[in-house]
C-alpha cells in the first residue's frame, strides 16, 4: 500500500509541476511527457533488480519528467528567439 501511495503521489506531482507556467511551449510539454515515460520505464527496470520496482518507476518518472521539461523549455526558448 505504501508503494502504491508513493507512486500515485509522485505521478500527481509530476503532472502538476509540468504545467506550472502559463506560457509553456509545446516542446516543454512534449519533453516532460516523454522524459517521464522513459524515466518511469528505466526506473522500473532498475528498481526491479533491487526489489523496488514501483519506487524506482516513481522516482525515475519524476526525474525524467523534470529533465525532459528543462530540455524542452530550452528548445522552446531557442525557437522563440529565432521567431518561430
Distances (CA, A) of 38 to 17, 58, 65: 17, 11, 9
Over residues 33-52, the mean pLDDT reads: 90
pLDDT in tens, 63-82: 999 999 999 999 999 888 88
Cα–Cα distance for residue pair 77/25, rounded to 1 Å = 9
Write down the pTM of the prediction. Answer: 0.67
Amino acid at each position: 500500500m505504501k508503494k502504491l501511495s508513493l507512486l500515485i503521489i509522485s505521478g500527481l506531482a509530476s503532472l502538476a509541476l509540468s504545467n506550472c507556467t502559463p506560457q509553456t511551449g509545446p516542446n516543454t510539454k512534449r519533453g516532460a511527457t516523454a522524459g517521464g515515460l522513459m524515466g518511469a520505464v528505466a526506473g522500473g527496470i532498475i528498481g526491479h533488480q533491487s526489489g523496488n520496482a514501483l519506487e524506482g518507476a516513481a522516482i525515475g518518472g519524476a526525474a525524467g519528467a523534470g529533465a525532459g521539461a528543462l530540455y524542452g523549455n530550452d528548445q522552446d526558448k531557442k525557437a522563440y528567439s529565432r521567431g518561430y
